[in-house]
Structure 1
Amino acid sequence: MRKLIIIFICTILFNNLFAQQKQRLTENWEYLNGDLGGVWEAVRPVKEGNPESVPVWQKVNLPHCFNATDAVDPDMNYYQGPGWYRTQLTIANPYQKGRTLLHFEGAGQKTQVYIYNKKVGDHVGGYDEFTVDITDEVEAFKKNEAFQKEFKGKIPVEIRCDNSRDLEMIPSSLSDFNVYGGLYRYVNLIYAPQLSLDKVFANASVDAKGNLGKLTVSARLLNPDGIDTITVKVDLKDPEGKVISSWKNEMRAFTGDKVLWDTVVKSPKLWATEQPTLYTVETTVSAKGESSVHQEKIGFRNFEFVKKGPFMLNGKRLLLRGTHRHEDHAGVAQAMTEDMIKQEMLMMKEMGVNFIRLGHYQQSRIVLDLCDSLGILVWEEIPWCRGGLGGDTYKAQARRMLTNMIEQHYNHASIIIWGLGNENDWPGDFAEFDKDKIRAFMKELNDLSHKLDPSRKTAIRRCDFCKDIVDVYSPSIWAGWYRGIYTEYKEASKKEFESVDRFLHVEWGGDSHAGRHSESPDKALSLIKTGVGADEREGDASLYGGSARVSKDGDWSESYIVNLIDWHLKEQESMTWLTGTAYWPFKDFSTPIRPDNPVPYVNQKGVVERDFTKKESYYVFQAYWTKTPMAHIYGHSWPVRWGDAGEEKMVKVYSNCDEAELFVNGISVGKKKRNLKSFPAIGLRWMVKLNEGTNNFKVVATKDDKTVTDEISQQYQTAKWAKPAKMILEKLKEKEGIATIQVKLMDDKGILCLDAASYITFGLTGEGSLIDNQGTSSGSRKVQLSNGHAVINVNLHGGKSVVSVKAVGIPSAFIEL
């Protein structure tokens, strides 16, 4: 942990090395939801306090997303349309004849940028970075004395973002994630000299034995004034910051990309997932007495997807243990701060992840920097996702976003795959669905990717009629969820492995409603037809109709999902030919096509909830993938178990330790040895008789002379419940003005209905407010019960409130706070 913290600090220092030239614009913004008649309405003089000054703007900080809460509002579709931002900047460029730039790390989805009432730039695409040069309009504005007086020397900036549905844009609105709007990544003010470096491309490679490293440095200039002569200097610094090689030359200024320097590094320290060693390339370009300095972190590593074989990193087999990431979080949607991103990536690393697929779009540079420093290999892709293939505008955007993604993230040691598409066999946006045209465009993108970056592989997921085009292919294998049963996983994977040269399995798993548990989680498997394959098909996300499948007919319990994950991980350890897999996804995320899920509009396949609350499945991965000793008794979020008096119940412990001893109510029930071939729980399971009422559990596990423990307490209910008859509301706790309210569904005798999964809806009147629209099991006013109960938090605001809860066919209940 300490080492990871040091890495983070170094990353922060690196990113802020030239802070005097780059400033994050996070404060003093205003936002307007909806459109204006024109930019003039955002800048026209307004007398303070004038009641006729409409519309009303709200103060916000960046990053900011239109859809921070409405994406998971159970009663409405999320907003898709325009929104406006405005601020006033103090511009003080220190460079004589320097350039003043606005750099956008990502904005959704169409963006127009104005200085006062003049448009200075626009961009189409919600995920790639773009820069707008505002120099000329700023200078023109400063020369207008009336404007200077009116705005007190500041420069008015207005930005229009628009995430309206548009068939000629990617991604498709059919995609299983929200197409968000807003300035949901950071915006930076940059001062550059008259001539500066636009981009630096540092291609680092090494042979499989690690004997000889090669580095090629190319650059692109920003030279709008056409300066003729420049001096360029390149330094290569080792991981300790010592300059180990340099190059310098005076030359004519160039246009386009130019190779500056080729060099070799004997026996470089290699970048690996366990030891992500990074070098620094520092490039300086000087002209007319001013210099522009550009730094890039690079890593020397060698990787190979062996044809009909496993994945190799630096000459050794590495099983890719992966997951996926959507840019989405409770309360902010896509507008995750740097601290949030760091927390998420650290949680992944602590779960044992060494590989991630960034689905389904280019993500923040912060994410890639962390993958470099933490040792997480990356598949990053463009948002050509579902819907089919559009026209010239559509294809131009795809080409542009692929080019931008590769150029902007070219230097990251962590990236090994450029993804070209996802589920491109899924029609719907256009009347025509022509496989030949899709194949032709996929080949065009594949050729473009290899031209821009021959060092990485290309890949797609789930488009069988294009699988021969790309270097690496991932089919659809959802054994035990959308089709088949999870014990068919290895067989289904082997069949797909044999059908392509290079196989990688991304996307597997299933949904779980946090806090819901089952005494018979695999019951639904008896309904499922086997031997029909394990691919997911159009419509499988629906909870209605079609053939029997766990996604529709299962209980969505954490108990089932830990079994499914446990089986998959057990099998993967013995599949010697396997390159690796990526569980879908790491965290629950919002989606407009799943309104009927237990948490409406949330894809609940994550191993953590949308607010970082860990589900039980997180610890299953740790038990297989991590080395630091850990032990976790299944059921921390399972307050009440049920069954007959004297019935034996299984107690499972997920641990990476060699041996574990379980104590029930203070008495040892024996020691168990960890066994990778023993399912479930890697052999760490006990059958025990529980007492009516409270039962206390403790595990003591050992590994390499280190001991770890875990404890939980559960109730055991033997009383049988009848038909649900009433709801009871109670306050569980109150802290710092936030009250936690629980509803329980009881039968007519007051017995808790532990299998109840009804939808309930919370309401409130008074001075307080529900903390809802979070997209979590405890942060939605409409939610399915978990084992007969549900909770929500209330901000009391120092006053009185009445909280209500209602459900179909059950009398409503109330509680006064």
Structure 2
Amino acid sequence: MKFPLLLRLALLLLLTGLQPARAQQSTRLTTGWEFVRQDLGGIWEAVRPAAPGSPETVPLWTPVALPHCFNALDAVDPDVNYYQGPGWYRTRLAVQNPYPGGRTLLHFEGAGQKTDVYLYTTKVGSHVGGYDEWTLDITDALAAFRQSKAAQEQFKGLIPLSIRSDNTRDLEMMPSDLSDFNLYGGLYRYLNLTYVPAVSLERLAARAEVDAAGRLGRLTLRGVLREPRPAGPVPVTLRLLDPRGRVVGQERTTLMAAAGEVALGSFRVKNPQLWSPARPALYTVRATVGSGAGAYEQTEQIGFRHIEFVEHGPFTLNGQRLLLRGTHRHEDHAGVAAALTESLIREEMVLMKQMGVNFIRLGHYQQSRIVLRLCDSLGITVWEEIPWCRGGLGGPVYQAQGKRMMTNMVQQHYNHPAIIIWGLGNENDWPNDFPAFDQQKIRAYMTELNDLAHQLDPGRYTAIRRCDFCKDIPDVYSPSIWAGWYRGSYTDYKEVSEKEFAGVKRFLHVEWGGDSHAGRHSESPDKALAGISGGKGADERAGDAALIGGAARVSKDGDWSETYICNLIDWHLKEQETMPWLSGAAYWPFKDFSTPVRPENPVPYLNQKGVVERDFTKKEAYYVFQSYWTTAPMVHLYGHSWPVRWGLPGELKMVKAYSNCPEAELFVNGKSYGVKQRDSQNFPAAGLRWLVPLSAGPNVLRVVARRGKTVVEDQINQIYQTETWGPPARLALEKLGEEAGVATYQAAVLDAGGVRCLDAKTRLRFGFTGAGQLLDNLGTSSGARVVEAYNGRAIIRVRTAPGPAALSVQAEKLPPVLLAW
């Protein structure tokens, strides 16, 4: 896919690692760590010397690299509750601060959920909250440690650092354990060792404003000096660089040391280059505090843009309507849980941009600074929120945490031009963490948070999702609309949205969609809608996520096929093009993610509403979005993960292509079935669909799409099965292939005559013994040892090793199968 020049430049900068510097000398502490997933009897167990000549070590520590999450695998283990408790990390640091009188800091980009930090046996700090950043000054503790001759001899001049991380359940903490995501434990974001000079900034706030016409920009800079503050005046130099790196403003001043935030300076910029999703122009602010070798320099990137959520109308950016085309992100990935490296985060955000996203809601907590920098550079607007999610309202400690996290979120991410909304919470009408559920107290606290957000940042909007009795408090409100999933039909979407739009000042629809079991497809995907009665709303209600009981609903009675979800998404997107008053909408979510509250899902403990799997494998829905939201010519035939279709001989089957090109032509086994014209209002697939006969056995389907002289095409191979099948009677297990030491196996569900049961949803359980490793607990359709079949089959992989081994598969009421080698 081709990108505009500025976007390609932004990607180049990201790929080469060029990013704003936060401080003078900062090193990520990624290697040399040991970990134990349990509590210790005390800090001495982490640092005591081993007995001479004794091999005994209790407890047993294992080597790990940071970032690290101690729920990397058990979050989606089908047989256990994920671990919630303490874990310990330890390492030894070589600390050499090059600055006379300088300060040595530990900067945590996020750790879950409660953290205690020890330098040798001294506790140097604590933090409560798994998602905001925080910094510890360990300068004085280092000096005290170095006065101990015995400790110096034991650790040979290195510094013993031990960290206790704890995600134990706690009702007086945000977020609630009732939330539809795991509250992970561990040092799952980067930890940095940072040296700063004797005088430095703790925070640099850059407020970039521009008038609606975009002709006059103003940049106001304020800062907070780090303690201990200097006794006298400090020289400060400020520079502003345009997106090409040219200096367009410079100011020198003298700063008098003072507590709190102080004014540093300001710049006026005529006709600034404006930041937008199409052209994410970033200016650079460089502040130098002090002079000479001991000077402190901090660099921030900012953008000039004018935002407005029009009352009873759309969203405008720089004076022009911008339909916010969005999705959501959880901090979660196969095999690592919350511990995503920078390269994984970058891959995810680029995938979103390539899908056409220009807006993202970070659900439901502050996320890594890396995510925000990428949104700035890629041109993705952001709703970021604190993790007041479900459960009701706790006491003073709970409420203080929420205010502290709001303050930290705004102050830490204030400079990012991508952010347009500060979120106050999510689903705050969800009780059960406390005996009392008082709507008036929730309203009062919501008002305090709203006022605090505006006090900290008057230039951005506030919002909440799904708390109707508070919808008048924030600037922007998003109701619960799940048309075609938890309630009603997807055809109800526009009518329900118009009704909700009329009830608030500013409407933005975040969270819509439905679950799809990757690899499962259907010849009659909308069948469940026939049992759904209309006119009863499209919201999510208590119990709707359950797979049993309650009213008829697609979430319970549907087939969870990719086919159905593509239809649901297709309808929503085509309707959004006819809603000129709509500010925007955000599909929930971009990627499947783990959750403790959905053990019975086709992949246990997985919310499967993503358009990509938990390992970035694209589902078919990804291309539906791309066909509506991107401009570079693309075409995609539905069914790349559907190897076998079924039906009667000679029956006409629908073939769909998703494309943003004006026309497309389909070929089946070399024969043309005509050219179709794209019309977004011609549902489904914007008119790019054909009814064609498939030959029994193998078929080759090819589509050619054209835009002017540009031609793009796509091809899939599908088998057409005309044999009918009876009830599942047995299982089969076969090896499909092996690559780079990983073998792929497929289990199939067959009837008594050996015919594949292509509609079977049988719950399968894989087992493995011997040399090698079963690649499970990944939270994907091909990386789970317990998984529902998709079209009568399921994939599992094994990392091979020399020696005998055996793979098994079993299902209730069916004889197990063993494959040995």
> 1:235 and 1:674 mapped to 2: Cα distance?
50
Q: Which residue of 2 aligns with 1:208?
A: 212
Counterpart code for 2:176:
S
Secondary structure (helix, strand or coil) at the match of 1:386 reads coil
Which of the residues 108, 116, 135 maps onto 1:112?
A: 116
How much does 1:608 deviate? 0.1
Q: Is the 8 A contact 1:195 1:227 kept in 2?
A: no
Are 2:271 and 1:267 aligned? yes
Describe how 1:178-327 pairs up with structure 2 within 5 A. Answer: 178-224=182-228, 226-286=230-290, 290-327=294-331
Aligned pairs for 1:2-401 within 5 A: 4=7, 6-11=9-14, 13-15=17-19, 21-47=25-51, 50-224=54-228, 226-286=230-290, 290-401=294-405
Using the size of structure 1 for normalisation, the TM-score is: 0.99
For the pair 1:452 / 2:446, whether they are aligned, the reply is no
The answer as to whether partners of 2:777 and 2:784 remain within 8 angstroms in 1 is yes
| Per-residue deviation, residues 20-54 of structure 1 (Å, max 9, x unmatched) | 61000000000010000111100000148734321
Residue 547 of structure 1: aligned partner:
551
Deviations 1:663-719 (A, max 9, x none): 000010000010011000001000001111011100010113210010001011111
2:754 & 2:425 partners in 1: Cα distance?
54
Q: Check conservation: 2:767, 2:809, Cα contact below 8 A.
A: yes
User: TM-score, structure 2 length as denominator?
Assistant: 0.98
CA contact (8 A) 2:216 2:269 kept: yes
The reply on whether 1:639 has 2:643 as its aligned counterpart is: yes
Query: Does the CA-based 8 Å contact 2:21-2:299 persist in structure 1?
Result: no
1:799 Cα deviation (Å)? Answer: 2.1
User: Following TM superposition, by how much is the alpha carbon of 1:232 offset from its aligned partner in structure 2, in angstroms?
Assistant: 1.1
1:762 corresponding residue in structure 2:
766
Aligned pairs for 1:439-518 within 5 A: 439-518=443-522
Candidates 779, 784, 789, aligned match of 2:783: 779
By how many angstroms is 1:226 displaced?
A: 3.9
Judge conservation of contact 2:132–2:405 (CA < 8 Å) in 1: yes
Offset at residue 730 of structure 1 (A) = 0.2
Q: Secondary structure at the residue paired with 1:387? A: coil
Cα offsets for 1:587-631 (capped at 9, x unmatched): 000000000000000000000000000000000000000001100
Q: Partners in 1 of 2:167 and 2:258 — Cα distance?
A: 38
Does structure 1 conserve the Cα–Cα contact (< 8 Å) formed by 2:21 and 2:298?
Answer: no
Matched-pair contact (CA < 8 Å) for 1:484–1:533: yes
- Are the aligned partners of 2:24 and 2:297 in contact in 1 as well (CA < 8 Å)? no
Q: What residue is the counterpart of 1:564 in the other structure?
A: 568
Amino acid paired to 1:7: A
Name the aligned partner's letter for residue 399 of structure 1: K
Q: 1:485 to 1:241 in 2, by over 3 A?
A: same
Provide closer, same or farther for how the CA distance between residues 18 and 256 of structure 1 changes in structure 2, counting only shifts above 3 A.
closer
The alpha-carbon distance between structure 1 residues 720 and 503, as it changes in their structure 2 partners (threshold 3 A), is: same
Matched residue type, 1:209: A
Q: In the alignment, is residue 812 of structure 1 matched against residue 810 of structure 2? A: no
| Equivalent in the alignment of 1:612 | 616
1:173-214 deviations in whole A, cap 9, x for unaligned?
A: 000000000000000000011110110000001111111111
Structure 1 SS opposite 2:628? helix
Partners in 2 of 1:452 and 1:440 — Cα distance? Answer: 19
d(CA) in 2 for partners of 1:692, 1:288? 79
Tell me which amino acid in the other structure corresponds to 1:224: P
Structure 2 residue matching 1:126: 3-state secondary structure: coil
In the alignment, the residues of structure 2 paired with residue 704 and residue 716 of structure 1 have an alpha-carbon distance, to the nearest angstrom, of 34
Residues 202-211 or 389-398, more deviating: 202-211
Unaligned runs of 5+ in 2: none
In the other structure, the counterpart of 2:540 is 536
1:86 deviation in Å? Answer: 0.3
Pair 1:431 & 2:435 matched: yes
SS at match of 1:724: coil
Matches within 5 A, 1:409-428: 409-428=413-432
1:792 paired residue number: 796
Corresponding residue SS for 2:429: strand
Cα distance in structure 1, aligned partners of 2:384 and 2:229? 36
CA distances 1:250-291 after superposition (whole Å, capped 9, x unpaired) = 232121001221221110000011000000111111168621
State the 1:797 CA deviation: 1.8
CA distance in 2, matches of 1:5, 1:35: 48
- Matched to 2:369, the amino acid is R
| Higher deviation after alignment, 704-713 or 558-567 | 704-713
Q: Does 1:736 align with 2:740?
A: yes
Q: Does the aligned pair in 1 maintain the 2:767–2:807 contact within 8 Å? A: yes
The answer to whether the Cα contact below 8 Å between 1:23 and 1:188 also exists between their aligned partners in 2 is yes
The one-letter code sitting in structure 2 at the alignment partner of 1:744 is: A
1:765 partner amino acid: T
Distance 1:197 1:19 in 2: 9
Q: CA deviation at 1:148?
A: 1.3
Change (3 A) 1:449 1:527: same
Deviation at 1:242, TM superposition (A): 1.1
Return the letter of the residue paired with 1:706: T
Report the residue type matching 2:366 in the other structure.
Q
CA distance in 2 between partners of 1:555 and 1:288 (Å): 68
| Cα-to-partner distance string for 1:63-94 (whole Å, 9 max, x where unaligned) | 00010000000000000000000000000000
Q: 2 CA distance for matches of 1:81 and 1:748?
A: 48
2:21–2:300: 8 Å Cα contact kept in structure 1? no
The equivalent residue for 1:651 is 655
**Which amino acid counterpart does residue 329 of structure 1 have in structure 2?**
H
Q: Deviations over 1:724-755 (max 9, x none)?
A: 11111000001222111100110111100001
SS in 1 for 2:615: coil
Moved more, 277-286 or 227-236: 227-236
Describe the SS at the equivalent of 1:526.
helix
Q: Name the CA distance, whole Å, in 1 between partners of 2:491 and 2:240.
A: 51
1:402 maps onto 2:406 in alignment: yes
1:806 partner letter: Q
Q: Is 2:619 the counterpart of 1:588?
A: no
Equivalent-residue separation in structure 1 for 2:460 and 2:443 (angstroms): 21
SS at match of 1:15: coil
- One-letter code aligned to 2:388: W
Take 2:400 and 2:229, find their aligned partners in 1: how far apart are those partners?
A: 29
SS of residue in 2 equivalent to 1:813: strand
Q: Distance in 2 between matches of 1:695 and 1:19?
A: 60
* CA displacement 1:451-487 (0-9 Å, x = unmatched): 0000000000000000000000000000000000000
CA distance in structure 1 between the partners assigned to 2:684 and 2:52 by the alignment = 67
Q: Is the 8 A contact 1:107 1:161 kept in 2?
A: yes
| CA positional deviation for 1:19 | 8.0
Aligned-pair CA distance for 1:353 = 0.1
- Report the AA paired with residue 90 of structure 1: A
Q: Deviations over 1:277-322 (max 9, x none)?
A: 0001111111686211111100000010011001100010110000
